[in-house]
Amino acid sequence: MHLSNRNTSQWQKIDSDHHLHPFTDYKDLNNTGSKIIVSAKGTYVTDSENNKLLDMMAGLWCVNIGYGRKELSEVAKQQMDLLPYYNSFFKTATTPSVELSRILSDITPKGINKFFYGSSGSESNDTLVRLVRRYWDILGKKNKKTFISRTYAYHGSTMASASLGGMQAMHGQGDLPLPGFVHVTPPYYYKFGKNMSESEFCNYAVSEVEKKINEIGPDNIAAFIGEPIQGAGGVIIPPPNYWQLIQKLCKKYEILLCVDEVICGFGRTGEWFGSQFYNIEPDIITFAKGITSGYLPLSGIGISDQVSNIIIDRGGEFYHGYTYSGHPVPCAVAIENIRILKEEKIIENVKNNIAPYLQKRMKEFENHPLVGEVRGQGLLVGVELVKNKKQKEFFEPTGKVGNICRDHCMNNNLIMRAVRDGMMCSPPLTITKEDIDICIDRFSKALDLTAKDVNKLTI
Ligand SMILES: *Cc1c(COP(=O)(O)O)cnc(C)c1O
């Protein structure tokens, strides 16, 4: 279905004239023009020039069951015909939001049984900040307000969620972070590991958290928040013991453990949630993206019994919510999406079959002269491009080589994302081994072309 039969350059012109994109240098985009995406099926998206691109990013880390699943569009239509909208503010509820909450309580980490909805990951992390501060207020610990997060964390783009995030460039715009948000070293061994072994580095990264807790004072710390595997920060895989030690610290100092499951949730690690993969029991989780496989906007926050009991029994009214909290249409789509994930055993297949294959094939690139490290877990991969492998020397300025490589990928009908000078993959969970082979082939070409360009750049 096309809205009209405009051609590519007409779409690009109107796009430049009237549309401001997220995270975009507008002048730069207007020089090249947008790639206009018109349709998609399975793991491939099609642009307005009829190129079929292998989407190794699942849209934006979100199209978990792949494109073109009619079951989801049919459920959305049925729900729209039956009840397109109703709110849940004034002692009303809609059936999909109620049913989804029951289903989520079965699959989310142990102890998490209450759910509050929004429409984006950013919103849910804002909800998290308000709810956590409210929790400590109710308990009479009114100084427990500060959040500890990590450098390179991504938690969204609103004022509070960007403050939770650890992206320097974002903090540089809009006077962020807000007061009450601090950041520590992430568990990024390749970049920050120096001469330590991985387990020494793990202890170091955890000790940095403890140092920060003591610097600010445990009585002033509300929560620690982290993505199980940092996604937009560059697919940062923590050392095996990291999350266990963080959980211990949180217990020791009476700090809530908050886990942002926006990318890891709904199967990406080969478990339903990243918290289950790392065997931790968070007090609060947030989720979005994969819950509807991106077909409609929906997010939420899942709250443990221990926290929700306090909020419910002693909190009175929680003055917070969104017009679209528990919107019936995305909730109905989420129920269908979760049914498909379960019945087609998609997450088991990721764990036992597809993820090991993707990781094994991508690891082959560690032989490439440009590649410092290939790291990954589940269906997340990061390929670190470096100037000098032996000395782990990164490119300066950061980001240039990554963008060159991304453009070569795109010209080879392969969608990957560059983060600094790393190349990221986060494909649909339904990707086949045949498509992984195609990805390897195309990425290999893109890397070789990038290496040629780099040789021209640096003498
Ligand atoms: C994408 C993302 C968010 C923000 O979600 P939006 O829907 O873009 O607001 C938050 N946390 C993580 C880990 C994400 O990847």
Structure-token match 């039969």, residue found: 5
Tokens 């509070």: give the residue.
Answer: 160
Same domain, 325 and 378: no
Q: 148 and 285 in one domain?
A: yes
Residue 70: predicted pLDDT? 98
Shared domain for 314 and 355, answered yes or no, is no
pLDDT band at 2 (very low <50, low <70, confident <90, very high): low
Q: 73 CA distance to ligand 1 centroid (A)?
A: 23
* 260 CA distance to ligand 1 middle (Å): 9
Strand partners, 183: 149
Residue 401 is predicted with a pLDDT of: 97
**Residue 450 pLDDT:** 98
337 and 382 share one domain: no
Distance 451 CA to ligand 1 centre (A): 32
Ligand 1 atom closest to 121 (CA): 5
With 0.95 as the threshold, say if the pTM is over it: yes
Residue 323 lies in a domain: yes
Measured in angstroms, how far is the CA atom of residue 100 from the centroid of ligand 1?
20
Answer whether residue 1 is part of any domain: no
pLDDT bucket at 229, cuts 50 / 70 / 90: very high
Residues 297 and 198 in one domain: yes
Q: Whose CA is nearest to atom 5 of ligand 1?
A: 121
Q: 426: helix, coil or strand? A: coil
pLDDT per position as a tens digit, 169-191: 999 999 999 999 999 999 999 99
Cα(287) to centroid of ligand 1, in Å? 8
Peptide bond into 177 cis (omega under 30): yes
Same domain, 81 and 59: no
In sign, the C-alpha dihedral spanning 276, 281, 285, 291 is positive
Mutate to test the pocket of ligand 1, among 155, 236, 296 (most ligand atoms within 8 A of CB): 155
Residue 46 lies in a domain: yes
Give the pLDDT band (50/70/90) at residue 5: confident
> Can you tell me the distance from the alpha carbon of 172 to that of 365, in angstroms, rounded to the nearest whole number?
35
Ligand 1 nearest atom to the CA of residue 232, by list position? 15
Most informative mutation of 229, 263, 266, 380 for ligand 1 (most atoms within 8 A of CB): 263
**Residue 366 CA, ligand 1 centroid: distance in Å:** 29
Answer whether residue 5 is part of any domain.
no
Q: Which residues line ligand 1 (CB under 6 A)?
A: 61, 120-122, 125, 154-156, 227, 231-232, 260, 262-263, 288
User: How far is 165 from 159, CA to CA, in rounded Å?
Assistant: 10
Indicate whether 104 and 237 sit together in one domain.
yes
Q: Ligand 1: which atom is nearest the Cα of residue 260?
A: 13
- The domain boundary residue, chosen from 323, 343, 363: 343
Q: Prior bond to 397 cis, omega within 30?
A: yes
Q: Which of 365, 362, 345, 342 is nearest to 353 (CA)?
A: 345
* pLDDT > 90 fraction of the chain, expressed in percent and rounded: 98
230: Cβ contacts below 8 Å, ≥ 6 apart = 150, 152, 153, 154, 186, 188, 236
Pocket test for ligand 1, best of 262, 291, 324 (most atoms within 8 A of CB): 262
Other C-beta atoms closer than 10 Å to the C-beta of 237 total 21
Q: Best substitution site from 119, 120, 128, 164 to test ligand 1's pocket, by max atoms within 8 Å of Cβ?
A: 120
Cα(25) to ligand 1 centroid in Å equals 20
Q: Is the same domain home to 378 and 397?
A: yes
Pick the atom of ligand 1 nearest to 161's CA.
Answer: 10
Q: What is the DSSP string of 352-420?
A: IIIHHHHHHHHHGGGGSTTEEEEEEETTEEEEEE-SBTTTTBPPSSTTHHHHHHHHHHHHTTEE-EEET
Closest listed residue to residue 438, CA positions, set 2, 123, 53, 97: 53
Q: How confident is the model at residue 457 (pLDDT cuts 50, 70, 90)?
A: confident
Q: What CA–CA distance (Å, rounded) separates 419 from 399? A: 7
Examine residue 107 and state whether it is found in any structural domain, yes or no. Answer: yes
Asked which of 343, 372, 396 is the last residue of a domain, the reply is 343
Q: Which of 284, 239, 247 is nearest to 262 (CA)?
A: 284
Domain that holds residue 296: 71-343
Residue 392 domain flag: yes
CA–centroid distance, residue 62 to ligand 1 (Å): 10
Mean pLDDT across the stretch 68-72? 98
Residue 428's CATH number: 3.90.1150.10
The residue to mutate among 64, 119, 154, having the most atoms of ligand 1 within 8 angstroms of its beta carbon, is 154
Task: Verify that 241 and 206 share a domain, yes or no.
Answer: yes
Does residue 2 lie within any of the structural domains? no
Mean pLDDT of the chain: 97
Rounded to the nearest angstrom, the distance between the alpha carbon of 280 and the centre of ligand 1 is 21
Edge-first strand listing for the sheet containing 221-226 = 112-118, 299-304, 284-287, 256-260, 221-226, 146-150, 181-184
Residue whose CA is closest, atom 13 of ligand 1? 262
Q: Give me the number of domains the chain comprises.
A: 2
CATH number, position 255: 3.40.640.10
Per the domain annotation, does 6 fall within a domain?
no
pLDDT band at 214 (very low <50, low <70, confident <90, very high): very high
- Same domain, yes or no, for 114 and 59? no
Residues 143 and 228 in one domain: yes
309, 343, 377 — which closes off a domain? 343
Rg of the chain over all Cα atoms, to the nearest angstrom: 22
Cα of 258 vs centre of ligand 1, distance in Å, is: 14
Based on the domain organization, do 195 and 289 belong to the same domain? yes
What's the mean pLDDT in 127-155?
98
pLDDT at 458: 62
Look at the block and give the residue holding tokens 């072309």.
Answer: 449
Instruction: Work out which ligand 1 atom sits closest to the CA atom of 157.
Output: 9
- Give the CA count within 13 Å in the CB-facing half-sphere of 330: 21
CA of 156 to the centre of ligand 1 (A): 5
